[in-house]
Structure 1
């Protein structure tokens, strides 16, 4: 008797909704899990209909582990890789490292997932040293920090990951190449034709790759032979909730890439950058879809500096001093301390029995060392920020500028680095990214003048600006990297008519930032009116409201503590 997927479909959907809020559609594929692996496509998650050889609780665990793993890939998406010159084993290693990256990020938010995935990794040193066994042992080693494996190749892979190999696509790819080369040096044979992902709950990772002959159209649903067969089946197409007309529209895109308009001459100092964009209607990324034009704002002629209220600046400075991100450092075997160091006590007793004479500290000291932080303030400079209202006759732009200046001054007085950037857009091919102050620049009256020289205009394509801000933040060497978005409401642009489209893309951009160890938070200057919409982007714990400048210190107190630690 075989356990089947059918009775678990509803529980699995509810489980995914509880984990990440947006469950992908689940589809049956013929076969059993021992010979057919799950796979992901733009149609959703495809799972084998049966599980041979396992029943009851173990069968359910396999299905729940599969959907949780797929959800981790969707919550922390990877940049698609070009196959290029990679050998089959190196491609498998790229997939294995991407699996480890997605699961590690998921475990950071939900540590209990280790109880789901961990027992399914049962390969160890006693199972041998073949390539397929080594890969299974490596998968276990990267998931479970307590797992001990004496193989030097496993130790090298763990060290590469500790050194940051999973932080960027290029470093991950390089690590896979190095590990694959080491396998070749060990003269071990890899059977690529009969390889299946291990352990069985993991998918085939076909979604990680761009086809060399279809770099402009990776959104098509057919990512593997199984996906092509399933996409043509009526039982699958009837469950698609993304709208067939949107998939068709993607497939009918012009073969030639669209040309971005040339920026004005004064803005051509930096080449435009293209970023992917998440389309919720097809549940896939559109590669190189939005174009960001990055420029520095020139300093205008000297003018009057209105300054900011001293009381607010002082309150904000005290707030940041109280909220400095610190972490404990334990010093062992000290002569004085807060508590006993049991290891040192035992070592002292043994030393005395050996007749050794000397001072042996037996106390444990706990000190707190302050982290180094780089904070990027990202300002919404759309037209709506300048619209007058009964509460703000001059619009929200003065409040935005004062808030940014106050934050930057208070952050730098604590010894951290701060940058002030802004953005606005006029369609996906014209996202203007304006730099008022970079990390290395001190806060001066010239920065204040730059902030006062730029009016609000155009629209709010937040996802593209957030991806570019994340790229710039990643270039800073710091213990903590923060991006704080100051905005007046939800994203909007002239070429988008679906009210949820840009919200979902911005939410994806925030998740991508988290996968690169960049924390993202939001300050809504409209108060509680737009809090529900923007909380979908940043999360309820990383989003606050401040209608007035006087509200800013209190609003930022909890936010700064949560995203800076």
Structure 2
């Protein structure tokens, strides 16, 4: 019987079948091959779903080679048990997690890992899929023994409390973080609190209350210290720092905040400042108080300066310039050729550091210069550098009008912790960062619908064969938000499809091929292994047969930008259906996003339409560094179809964003329902040829561009723009499962 007859998915090509047949025979020698086929039959006949069987069939031969054939056969029984107790989703994830664990813990540790999976499946089945999402990171952080201890602690602590178990394994419970730090030997707030109080008192003669940042705070807030009034707030840990460095980081953080409490006499009113100006005023104030602190206590320089590690570079992004400016003002020996930084340092040194208003004067000046330099500043993703400096929330007076402070608080990475700590209202963060009880509506202030000109791009004229420079203006518009539950319902309606999409994306090994040496068979001879074999033979020893090498993709290294066409035609209803084209786009975006977010693939979502060449409208739904959460789903729900489809300019702008990602593969996935058009263009071929030129330009930058057409008659122009192999047309959302294997197969080449 053929191996592939066990599962017979129609989408596998004949070459894939032959490869898997050969690999399975090599991985399971003798009678074990028949045992493996019987295991595959049992899984296929049990009705767990194609995703479960497919994952086991594809990955178990690799597990057999890494661990042992018998263990890989026995794994089918564990998969079956997990499917029964923890559900199909967890069972479909198990084979890939098993392969990753085998690579990490090795042949000897794998049986213990498998016993741990069975323990969780029996004791906390609802938590197993969540644990799998964190499993690779946890194994690297604490090792197998630490993971066993941490998992058993979580189950024992929350025994009988399903919701608390889920919070623990999602790492939303502060105790989960503390136990994880203890298992890994990492220094955290709990370890440092008793040391920091006397340290702060010895420095400044004051001992303000120290509090740990709440676990439900914004991610950027959890990464930085902060203060508000007399309360000092510190992160539960500083990830990525070794124990000795983490201890110095905590000491530097409280020393810096102590300098603020001593030398920052009054808060700055926000007034009409722009986000970039707020960030710069805060940066100058940080430098001012540190200069005064180091005059009183010169030894603090040895605490602060080692964390200023940035070097001059050609990068002219706002975060890079701000980090370099911070070092230039703190480190007299640092030299930077950038004129903007030199101007800032000269202005800072001319002023009297005892005058607090110098921070506002210099910050306003530098902010205006930044605007003249056309450097974009993203307040949502800005994180203060270096890491010991606080989030600067305590420096600003927002007044009584909360709407005035919206942009400022984004800059300061604040989730309104001031109110939570001063007024003991822990529900405030919950209400603002998560859906409320009424159908998951996210509370968001109304946004101004004025677009901001961010770029000008050329446009290709096929008649003359030349590009018209700076011909099209791209303006970024803020995203409207609606009820996030609308998108959640669209996604939940197709939960079965969501599982299959996740399994398909998870199965793709999109990365640079690694050279594996000393293999028993392969694509080339491993010269070093051959030499060792010859030497062994010469001295009378039995040479190792592992003298080959091969190339294999063993990880994921992919960034994706999903670009949605929201032109007027997307409001049309699909053929023989009640839903609009835009509904299908939302559902596809939600399904793909859920899968990619669960795999930690960097991805972004944007939408576009156009109103003549002077106004190509681009809306960011999710940036690469932003989590996929209810706010993103609210923005997806708020999309409305309008205007036209000037595709080439949108592709160029999205591609410029994607080209900054340092991934092996970068994918721009365009979802559109119609031919490129705009009301100031009469020649239908003009925008098609321009879009084709834009795709070719991204290809030269190493960006792969694909298009999903939601129009059955779109093949002609989509093939012309993207290439026949890179354009797909689908009429229903179910065809995503046909599309994704082709797409990822092309990326994996």
TM-score by length of 1: 0.49
Larger radius of gyration: 2
Larger RCO: 1 or 2 (CA < 8 Å, sep 6+): 1
TM-score by length of 2: 0.37
